[in-house]
A and B are shown apart, each in its own frame.
Chain A
Amino acid sequence: MTAEVSRNRRKALLRGMMFSAPFLLVIVPFALLFGVVATGAGLNIAQVMGFSLAVFAGAAQFSALQLMQEQAPTLVVLATSLAVNLRMGMYSAALTPSLGALPLGTRALVAFFLVDQSYAASVVEFEKRPHLTPAERLAFFAGTVLPIAPAWYVATWVGAVVGTQIPPDYPLDFALPITFIAMIAPMLRSIPHLAAALVSVVGTLALSWMPYSTGVLVAALAAMLTGAMVELLIGKRA
């Protein structure tokens, strides 16, 4: 490897790190909150860390926690939380043209660390610099992960440790809904997204008679279809 090649890779890695460093402002409080809420819900520290290490996806971790607090059956917990993560299939598809040339094992590693932040930073970079080699693209992607993954793990742990010291009557029950609302609200500025969210809310409330929290899944399916159809309708008219 020439000096120039390794210099370009190092530059890509640093660019990735700089790009994703501001995400720490969101990741750290979010992971702290997960640690606190999960511990408050009765998980032990090993289980809380297990979630953050194995799943590494905030919204899905919170969904699982919420449904477990409602005593939903295991299958419903899994189906709903995985549905929250389905958007990552889209990220995977979007990055495949740029990173598909890497060896299978490397692609698996990329997949494991594919989150909202690393995806968002990478698509922007790869579009802006189409001349990057696959190795440089990988270096950039690794750079975006480097600040956020360790922060996610450490902050989860700190939250779990702190959480055990918070008295159980402290009103933490509403931390979760507020976090969810704050995550989703910025997406509600497009009409298809707004329509999907409305169907999701009205549908879930109307279907709350369904057993084992399955109403949320049925409503989600209807909401996804609504979003896609509204997008098609608006797109055709424009």
Chain B
Amino acid sequence: MSGYSELQIWLIILALGIGTFLIRFSFLGVVGNRDLPPFVLRLLRYTAVAVIPGLVAPLVAWPAATGGQADPVRISAAAVALGLGVMFRNVLLSICAGAATLIAAQLLLG
């Protein structure tokens, strides 16, 4: 974390904690029993799937560890984690299989 001062890191932690709490408290605290516009609910449903794949994509396509070169080891590990995750909907299995592929491919190809 060389780019951040001690204070900045704590600010991020605190602001993230407060912001997350406000999101969680929003309707429970303020809205009460009023209904949300359906389109807002519909948008909220896709937030996780709209942000996380975007965070992952560059890490798979051009990992910093290989100097930004596409790397068959990492791509195959990502593919295994994705495929098993879609097939079995089991997060833990998917993580373990992805990690195992990463290590095995590293030994074979690296």
Residues in chain A within 8 A of chain B (CB atoms)? 25-26, 29, 41-43, 47, 50-51, 53-57, 59-60, 63-64, 66-69, 71, 74, 77-78, 80-93, 95-97, 99-100, 104, 107-108, 110-112, 114, 171, 173-189, 192-193, 196-201, 203-205, 208, 215-216, 219-221, 223-228, 231-232
Contacts and interface: CB of A to CB of B under 8 A. Distances in A.
Contacts, number: 284
B56 A180 contact: yes
Main secondary structure of the interface of A (DSSP, over half): helix
Interface of B: 1-4, 8-17, 19-21, 23-29, 31-33, 36, 39, 41-61, 63-65, 74, 77-78, 81-86, 89-92, 94-95, 98-99, 102, 106
A47 B13 contact: yes
Main secondary structure of the interface of B (DSSP, over half): helix
B47 A87 contact: yes
A173 B47 contact: no
A92 to B, nearest CB: 4
Please indicate which of the listed interface residues B39, B47, B85 has the most CB atoms of chain A within 10 Å of its own CB. B47
A43 B28 contact: no
7 contacts: A78-B15, A178-B102, A182-B92, A184-B56, A193-B46, A228-B46, A231-B45
B94 A171 contact: no
Given A78-B15, A92-B25, A92-B26, A205 B53 contact: no
Given A180-B56, A182-B85, A200-B53, A54 B44 contact: no
A173 B95 contact: no
Contacts of B82: 181, 185
Contact of A196 (B2, B50, B74, B91): B50
B50 A223 contact: yes
Contact of A96 (B12, B28, B54): B28
A68 B13 CA distance: 11
Nearest to B57: A201
Given A71-B3, A90-B45, A173 B65 contact: yes
